Amino acid sequence: MPLTTVPTPPGLFEQRQSPNAGIGVFAIAAIPSGTRILCEAPLFALPDDDDVIECYLTIKDLPLDQQSLFWSLAASSSPPGDTDWIGELRDACDDRLTIHALRDIRPGEEICTAYIDICHDTAERRRILHHWGFKCCCEACETQDPAREARRSKLEELMTVMQRRENKRSFENWGTWDYAEALATVEKIICLMLEDGLEETDTLGVAYENAAEYNLAMGCKEDAVKWAEKDLEIERKCCGEDSDEYANALKLLESARAA
């Protein structure tokens, strides 16, 4: 079934030259936190583990007009057409290109999205972003506050531990101690993210989801419901109530309440 474009409020943004690099998207009206700015069907969608060759072959299979559109977006140096600007912002929920405001955005502010995992220190983020040919000038990258850098380094370390444990959980038979140990790591991640002002990100949603699942597995219903409710709110704000992410979070909350 083809993916559809979801209508969004008009008059929220415009495209123009960014002072940082290339063409940017700028708010022309006040945009409240949680607003869906845009939701478009992509030209194509690939699994996360597909490589560059598979991407190229998929593009080659597109109709010629869509191939031309893709390559114009991939190397745009002037504002694209009204429906093609999504090449300047990249994010995905439910296989659609979806942009939500995670905080209040003032008129004139550039609308940005994280190209990479935010749980790295500045040096590592800039190393990864070098691939896109620009230098990020967000507050976190520009200030390089020593305390924030220490939190991000610790956060990166803990996220690696959490992901490794999650990979193990898929094929190991965990007991109460395993869940308790994993939960302690997740709670540290949540504390660090909140302390660093990362309270409105889908990465935090992953931590909330894991915390809910671990508590549910240990029979701690009250805490499972608490974390599942937080996960649901994150997914509502980041992806919208019509997304798979929101549906999965709602299912988790219903399971926690029924436990």
Chain-wide mean pLDDT for the chain? Answer: 83
Query: What Rg, from alpha-carbon coordinates, does the chain have?
Result: 20
The token duo for 252 is 């988790």
* Boundaries of every domain in the chain: 13-113, 141-258
Query: Exposure string (b/e) for 2-39, b if CB count within 10 Å is 16 or more?
Result: eeeeeeeeeebbebeebeeeebbbbbeeebeebbbbbb
> DSSP E strands: which ranges in 12-92?
13-17, 23-27, 36-40
Which of these CATH numbers, 1.10.20.60, 2.40.10.120, 2.170.270.10, 2.40.70.10, describes 13-113?
Answer: 2.170.270.10
Categorize the per-residue pLDDT at 180 as very low, low, confident or very high, splitting at 50, 70 and 90.
Answer: very high
Distance of CA 20 to the CA centre of its chain: 22
Q: Which of 35, 50, 129 is nearest to 90 (CA)?
A: 129
pLDDT at 83: 37
* Between 70 and 257, the higher pLDDT residue: 257
Q: Which of 124, 112, 113 is nearest to 155 (CA)?
A: 124
What is the end-to-end Cα distance of the chain in Å, rounded?
35
Cα separation values, 92 from 108, 114, 122, 124, 257, Å: 24, 11, 24, 23, 29
> DSSP E strands: which ranges in the chain?
13-17, 23-27, 36-40, 97-100
pLDDT per residue over 196-245, tens digit each? 888 777 889 999 999 999 999 999 999 999 999 999 999 998 888 888 89
CATH for the stretch 141-258 = 1.25.40.10
Q: Quick one: average pLDDT of 25-41?
A: 88
Question: Looking at the predicted structure, is the pLDDT value of residue 162 above 70?
Answer: yes
